Structure 1
């Protein structure tokens, strides 16, 4: 009887332990954005990599088809409240819908600038065309015939970027070798949408982040919107795919911009320039392929 009770207690303890482990793993996966997390006990090698996806490239055009741009699909989901945005890929701080809208808009200063003729007429940068001009002076007493209405300041209008202007996406992934399955996995964590440096209205000389999104949240959103989240198949209209499938099948081209390092520096910073960073990107990709090949050689 005592042996039976001891066995039952052991089984119950193992069940609770497994449940606690599964709960901890699920919590960790949901917090880091992974869609198919790999248990730490199965990981023999892991390297965190940041890749840049230029949606203007020919291979990436299916994600950027007219009316179904992935950038527009993401921003529309944020406006509907279906997708949560974060400040950066640490996923430590969330962004509101208003903050994302502000990050994806620019102020049109040219619409409130005045021409030389307008300045000569006495208009101010804060005047609108509805503001009455100063009244002419009375010739006998030198006083204004009527008091001039003070000009009303007009705030520069804010314009949302076109979806076609938002063609830069940064992907963060863990490149993991699973020793249980003996294969390398690309475990995508986050996607960050950028306003490119050359976009109209972006006066800064660098890309500006709009928001970062968990990959697990994006997959769920893509699946829930099959009519919009489309990877356009230019060869066969009957074989368009969901954007979630496009990422799972790696149907896009990218280049490495950062590999995890003690200084958290990008390749362009490490090697002293954008050109050198591109060359280092190619070398980093080659090194990772060679490392995977060497795993099968010994």
Structure 2
């Protein structure tokens, strides 16, 4: 009887320790943004990949429908305090809601004469009063009060329209789960970007607005089913939640970076954007071929 009780106690302690270990693994993985973390003991292969998503593409239009843009859904959640934004995909430091609004805004160019007006003979300091009459001249010998220097006025700032924010970057781990014998797309983060092609983006490069944990985004999408909609153009009765759209991989993307010692993008490694796109296609093919070869043994 004593031996039986001792064995039962030992089994119970082992069960608790395994459960605690699994919980600790899940919590650690979840802190990296994973929605369904896979235990390290089940991972046979893992590769971190960064993908660019252009929401203007036909396959991505359902998550960029008029009034239901994913960019709008994300930014509104940040303003409500429902979603935390991070500075980069390492998730080590955060943005405030005010900083995210500033990142998603642009300053209007300072008012001045257009090229047509300058060609017509107008200048910043005109010699007339604007109505054709000569501007009054300062009299000789008369002392005039010196005008106070004008303080520079900051140009007004405006938020980008949701339709302008069509560029995103997704970070994922491609994981082969040896227990289930299949490859998983374990999404970690999604970054919202200001596209480089916008005329108001004078920097000429993509600017990050904020990075978001995928697990946080799933929660926001589930909590706002009337806003987080993947629009089904074939059947209005079958619109899906954005969380389901990502789980079912109902979007198109292309690889821009695969984990490497120098943390370099494919365009940097191969010397140009065109070469980077070709390398992206090759990287996608290599990953498919790797998974296929696992089944040939």
TM-score by length of 2: 0.89
Shift of 1:204: 1.6
> How many angstroms does 1:136 deviate by?
6.9
Partner in structure 2 of residue 286 of structure 1: 285
RMSD of aligned C-alpha atoms? 2.1
Structure 1: runs of 5 or more not aligned: 123-133
Tell me the secondary structure at the aligned position of residue 44 of structure 2: strand
Q: Secondary structure at 1:109's aligned position in 2? A: coil
Identify the residue that residue 230 of structure 2 maps to in structure 1.
231
Question: What displacement does 1:185 show?
Answer: 0.7
Once the two structures are superposed, what CA deviation does each residue of 1:166-194 show, in whole Å capped at 9, x if it has no partner?
11110111111111111111111100111
Please say if residues 25 and 39 of structure 2, whose CA atoms lie closer than 8 Å, have aligned partners that are also in contact: yes
Alpha-carbon distance between aligned partners in 2 of 1:284 and 1:32, rounded to the nearest angstrom? 24
Q: Distance in 1 between matches of 2:73 and 2:270?
A: 35
Q: Quick one: structure 1 residues 33 and 135, their matched pair in 2 at CA, closer, same or farther if it must change by over 3 Å? A: farther
* Alignment check: 8 A CA contact 1:135 1:148 kept: no
Q: Is the 8 A contact 2:26 2:38 kept in 1?
A: no
Q: Distance in 1 between matches of 2:271 and 2:148?
A: 57
Shift of 1:197: 0.6
2:48 and 2:153 map into 1 onto residues whose CA distance is 48
Q: Deviations along 1:97-153, whole A, 9 cap, x unmatched? A: 11111111111123x33566462149xxxxxxxxxxx9975x586134x77565343
What SS does structure 1 have at the residue aligned with 2:31? helix
Deviation at 1:79, TM superposition (A): 0.6
Match of 2:132 in 1: none
- Counterpart check, 1:120 vs 2:125: yes
Q: Does 1:83 align with 2:86?
A: no
Between the aligned partners of 2:146 and 2:93, the Cα distance in structure 1 is 53
- Residues in 1 aligned to 2:285 and 2:294: alpha-carbon distance in whole angstroms: 14
| Structure 1 counterpart of 2:214 | 215
For residues 2 and 121 of structure 1, what CA distance do their matches in structure 2 show? 105
Q: What residue number does 2:193 align with?
A: 194
Number of the residue aligned with 2:270: 271
1:164 deviates by 1.0
Deviation at 1:91, TM superposition (A): 0.5
Shift of 1:35: 0.5
Superposition deviation, residue 25 in structure 1: 1.7
Pick closer, same or farther for the CA change 1:18–1:157 going to 2, 3 Å: same
The offset of 1:203, in angstroms, is 1.3
Question: Which string of whole-angstrom CA distances, capped at 9 and with x for unpartnered residues, describes residues 241-276 of structure 1?
Answer: 110010011000000001111111110011000000
Quick one: distance in 2 between partners of 1:206 and 1:248?
30
- 1:51-200 mapped onto 2 (5 Å cutoff): 51-110=51-110, 112-114=111-113, 117=122, 119-121=124-126, 137=138, 142-144=142-144, 148=147, 150-200=149-199
Are the counterparts in 2 of residues 232 and 241 from structure 1 also a CA contact under 8 Å? yes
Q: Residue 44 of structure 1 corresponds to which residue in structure 2?
A: 44
TM-score (ref. length: structure 1): 0.89
Deviation for aligned residue 1:2: 4.3
Conservation of the 8 A alpha-carbon contact between 1:175 and 1:184: yes
Matched, 1:13 2:18: no
For residues 283 and 243 of structure 1, the distance between their equivalents in structure 2, rounded to whole angstroms, comes to 29
Gaps of at least 5 residues in structure 2 are: 128-134
Secondary structure at the aligned position of 1:213 is classed as strand
Contact 1:135 1:147 in 2 (8 A): no
